[in-house]
Structure 1
Amino acid sequence: MNSKDYLFEAETVWEDLGNGIRRQIMGYDDQLMTVKVEFEAGAVGSLHAHPHSQTTYVASGTYRFEIGSEKKIVKGGDGLYIAPNVVHGVICLKRGILIDSFSPVREDFLK
């Protein structure tokens, strides 16, 4: 299972997740997936956990992340790592975009 080699923003569908959040899947194979997630100010990524390793690059905006029991404010240019099965969530304080990478692929995103 692989994505196309090139995924252009203008040709890639945004999936509306509701409540001011939408995402574009920007490439994947069985072991890796990159996803662009756009947040409106006030949007909440509810606390959750998954078995995937995750890194996030803050492309723009300001967010309050909670990873495990630690809460921090991050902004454009910052990054973070979330270990498998660790509870985490986010509140968008200033509209922006996150670039999430997952290993292995988030098959639930492809359904």
Structure 2
Amino acid sequence: MKTSNHLSFEKILVADEDIPWEIIDDKIQRKIMSYTQELMLVKVAFKKGGIGATHKHPHLQISYVAKGAFEVSIGAESKVLKEGDVYFVPSDVLHGAVCLEEGVLIDVFNPLREDFL
């Protein structure tokens, strides 16, 4: 579906099993679950020791720890976050994560990450 304000939607009603995993490396895989121009939700699965390398981007990001434990660094701050915890990344702030226990992050971006498509 296309509208004048949005890129195509991946799905309106999403069944996890219908979205294939994209292999990022031997310890990280992701699924782009749904998106519009303004918003994107991405599910990222990590094996223990997986590293979300330190990086920055202009997008706002909020992430929910759905499973596992991660050492998350945002700017000069670091903290171990576990299932049920959340972190927020402002635009253009260095951030990264190390998976301490096999886990899953649910990342939400505004606007969408075109580099993921």
- What TM-score do you get using the length of structure 1 for normalisation? 0.96
5+ residue gaps, structure 1, are: none
5+ residue gaps, structure 2, are: 1-6
Identical counterparts, % of pairs: 44
Q: Does 1:43 align with 2:46?
A: no
Residue 12 of structure 1 aligns with which residue?
19
Choose the corresponding residue for 1:101, options 86, 102, 108.
108
Compare 28-37 and 2-11 and name the one that shifted more.
Answer: 2-11
Following superposition, the deviation at residue 3 of structure 1 comes to 2.0
Q: 1:75-98 CA deviation, whole Å, 9 max, x = no partner?
A: 000001000000000000000100
Q: Does 1:65 align with 2:63?
A: no
How far apart in 2 are the matches of 1:37 and 1:25? 9
List structure 1 segments (4+ residues) > 2 angstroms apart after TM superposition: none
User: What is the identity, as a one-letter code, of the residue corresponding to 2:87?
Assistant: L
**SS where residue 115 of structure 2 aligns?**
helix
User: What is the identity, as a one-letter code, of the residue corresponding to 1:21?
Assistant: I
**SS where residue 10 of structure 1 aligns?**
helix
Choose the corresponding residue for 1:26, options 30, 33, 37.
33
Q: How many residues align?
A: 110
Q: 1:54-105 CA deviation, whole Å, 9 max, x = no partner?
A: 0000001000000001010000000010000000000000001000000000
- What TM-score do you get using the length of structure 2 for normalisation? 0.92
**SS where residue 53 of structure 2 aligns?**
strand
